Amino acid sequence: MPEVVDQIDTSVLEQLLGYNARRASLAVIGQFLEDMAEFNLRPVEFSVLTLIASNPGITARQLCQQLALLPPNLVGLLNALVKRDLIRREPHASDRRATALHLACGADKLVKKAQSRALQSDEKVLGHLTAAERQTLIALLKKVYATPQL
């Protein structure tokens, strides 16, 4: 039993998926936060704006399902985006309980810029991976979460 630890043995942790996934996520999110600071967008806000841009009229419930958010936690986020004139709430066409979410006029420009910046952020983190490796990585991540766990 060594009295003083100099080199840390992480061999057990390093073979576990969760440990590696968490450390990779920290690296990706850290770079994302840095690159998105100019737009003042956190990852969830970026995802919400992107889904609204690609799916005009989407409801809060659909956003919650897609992004694994709980409805009470989405309310304040949407309020903030409305206050920043990035989105607007409109009456839903067929369900008067729901609200249809749309980008505010002019917000599509900012969203496009942010999306381009997000791709650049990925580029930084994945810069030392080949194109094939990147595709493989994303495909394998999808395979992890896109399958019913039964």
Contact residues for its own copies, defined by CB under 8 A: 1-5, 8-29, 31-32, 43, 47, 50-51, 53-59, 62, 66, 68, 92-94, 100, 115, 118-119, 121-122, 124-126, 128-129, 133-134, 136-138, 140-145, 147, 149
**Which of 13, 80 has the CB closer to its own copies?**
13
Residue 71 near DNA by CB under 7 A: yes
Applying the rule CB under 7 A, the residues between 83 and 102 that interact with DNA are: 89, 92, 95-99
Residue 73 C-beta: closest distance to its own copies, Å: 15
Determine contact, residues 101/60, Cβ cutoff 8 Å. yes
**CA separation for the pair 9, 68 (Å, rounded):** 35
Residue 89 · residue 99 · CB < 8 Å: yes
The three state secondary structure string of 45-71 is HHHHHHHHHHCCCECHHHHHHHHCCCH
